[in-house]
Amino acid sequence: GNSVTQMEGPVTLSEEAFLTINCTYTATGYPSLFWYVQYPGEGLQLLLKATKADDKGSNKGFEATYRKETTSFHLEKGSVQVSDSAVYFCALGQGSGGGADGLTFGKGTHLIIQP
């Protein structure tokens, strides 16, 4: 079956540091890939997505590139801020239900940015 593996953390960085959160996946065919962010006390928000190989998703300074050869979708940001502290989830979407099937999530990476 499908699976998503990501570093769980917590990952602690200083403000303005470079961020990488690794995500690798196992799936047949051509899944869509997503990064979601969850701020304390809130639900998940879509951060970015990519739907095919070599696509780059980007939003709010975050980027991730769909690498089919390495089955990866690593999240990066050049200079993090305290407000980026949150839990980040990598997810894939695939199924025969025309997109109706649920997503498969990684376990989440808790990111802490210190001033």
Partner 1 sequence: DVKVTQSSRYLVKRTGEKVFLECVQDMDHENMFWYRQDPGLGLRLIYFSYDVKMKEKGDIPEGYSVSREKKERFSLILESASTNQTSMYLCASSRGQGHQPQHFGDGTRLSIL
Residues that bind partner 1 (CB under 8 A): 8, 31-32, 34, 36, 41-46, 49, 51, 89, 93-94, 97-103, 105-108
2: Cβ contacts below 8 Å, ≥ 6 apart: 25, 26, 27, 28, 31, 92, 94, 104
Query: Which residue, 9 or 72, is less far from partner 1 as judged by CB?
Result: 9
Q: Shortest distance, CB of residue 68 to partner 1, whole angstroms?
A: 15
Q: Shortest distance, CB of residue 35 to partner 1, whole angstroms?
A: 10
Element (H, E) at 87: strand 86-93
Q: Is 84 helix (H, G, I), strand (E, B) or coil?
A: helix
Q: Shortest distance, CB of residue 112 to partner 1, whole angstroms?
A: 16
